[in-house]
Structure 1
C-alpha cells in the first residue's frame, strides 16, 4: 500500500492555504505531519480522507485517486481518527460505536453478521479495550475513548490510517500506550502530531509544513535539524537518538532566547 499526495492545493473561503504539497507514505510506514499552528497539517488530512476537495493536485491510495472513488470505496481503504471526534450518539455501547466502522463493507440494506461481530471483538482486543465492550461510550475517559475510536478505524480493515492529534488532551501514560498501539497495527499511517517529542518517537519519517508549504521531508534525524527547528518553530533544540535507542528532542536551557526564526517560504 502506498499513499501519494501530489501538488496539492487547497483554498478556504477563497484564501489559499496549501501550496503544491507533495508527500508519500509506503507500506507499513508511519509518516508524521508537523509544523506550527496554522501551517496546514489538518487541511492536508482532510483532503486525504475526502472531507475537503482540493482545487488542484491528487491524493492516491493504492494507486487510485481517492476523489475518483465512491465514498464507500474510499472508506474501505482509508480510516480516520480525528481530533476531538464528535457525532457519537448518547446511549450507544462501545461495541455499537466500533461496529459503525463496518458500514463501508455492507450493502445498501446490509446488517452486521457473525463476521462483523468477530471483527469488532478483534479490533477491541487489538486496542486492549475488549473489557469496555458493554460500557456506554460517553462514560469512558479520554484515553479509553481514543482507544475505542482507534478500534472503530481498524475494524474498517483500512489500508491507510489518518490520525489527527490522536493523543490530544491525554495524560502521559495514555499517550505512550496509544503510540504503541498505532505502531503495533502495521497499517500505513499519516499522523498529525503537535508534540514533537511524540512525533520523533512514533514516526519513521516527518513532513514539515510551514505556511501551507512543505519545507522539509525525510527521516526524523535527517530532517529535524537544529537549524530547521529554529527557523520553523522558533526554538533552540536538538533531535538525537539516545543510548536506549529512543529519539528525543532536547531543548536548550533558554529555548526562546537563542533561536532566531526566519522566513522559510520560497
Structure 2
C-alpha cells in the first residue's frame, strides 16, 4: 500500500514536471527577448515593454522544480535496490539541481519586472547599473548545478533500469539521451558554445524531458512491480545448494 501511494503521487508529480517543460518551451518560443544575447540595453527595453512571456517562462521552470520534489523519491525508489550508493548520491544531486532552479526562477519571477520598470524609468546611471549587474539575479549563471548536477541522475536511473529490466527499453533510451543532453547543455552554457546549448535545449528540454517525465509518470501511476533485492550467492557457487549447518553435539555425548 505504501509503495502504491508513493508511485501514484510520484507519477502525478512526474507528469506535471513533463507538462512544465511544455510550458517552458512554449513561452521560450513566444518570447522575442530570448534571441537577444549581446545587447543588454535592448533586452531590458523590450522586457519593460512586454515581459509577460519571459515571466511565464520562469513560472514554468519554478513550478516544474517544485513538482520534481514529489517525483524524485518515486523514480529513485524504482532502482534503489540495484545500486543504492549511486542512486542516493545522484538523487541528492537531483534535489540540489531542482532546488537551485526553484529558488533562482522564483527570484527572477519577482525581480525581473521590478528591474525592467526601473530600467524604463531610470536615468543612464540606473540603466548602466542594471545591465552590468543583471547576472547577479541568478544563483547559478553557468548552470553547473541546474543542468550539470541533474544529468547523472537521469543516467544512473535509466542505465540501472535498462540493465535490470525494470522499465521498458524505449523509455530508458529516452532517459539516457536526456541525461546526456542535460549534461551537454551545462557544458555549452559554461563554455559559451551556442550551437551545443541550442541542440541540447531543443532535443533535451523540448522533446526528451517532457516525453520521459510524462511516460515515467504514467508508468508509476499504473503500478511498477517491486523488485526484491538479489539473494547473496552461496559459498559453493551459483546454482549449488547451500550446505546445512553442522548439528551441534549434545552435551555429554561421546561422539
**Greater relative CO, 1 or 2 (CA 8 Å, sep 6+):** 2
Question: What's the TM-score bracket when you normalise by the shorter of the two chains?
Answer: under 0.3
Compare CA radii of gyration and give the structure with the larger one: 2
Query: Higher helix share goes to which structure?
Result: 2
Query: Higher strand share goes to which structure?
Result: 1
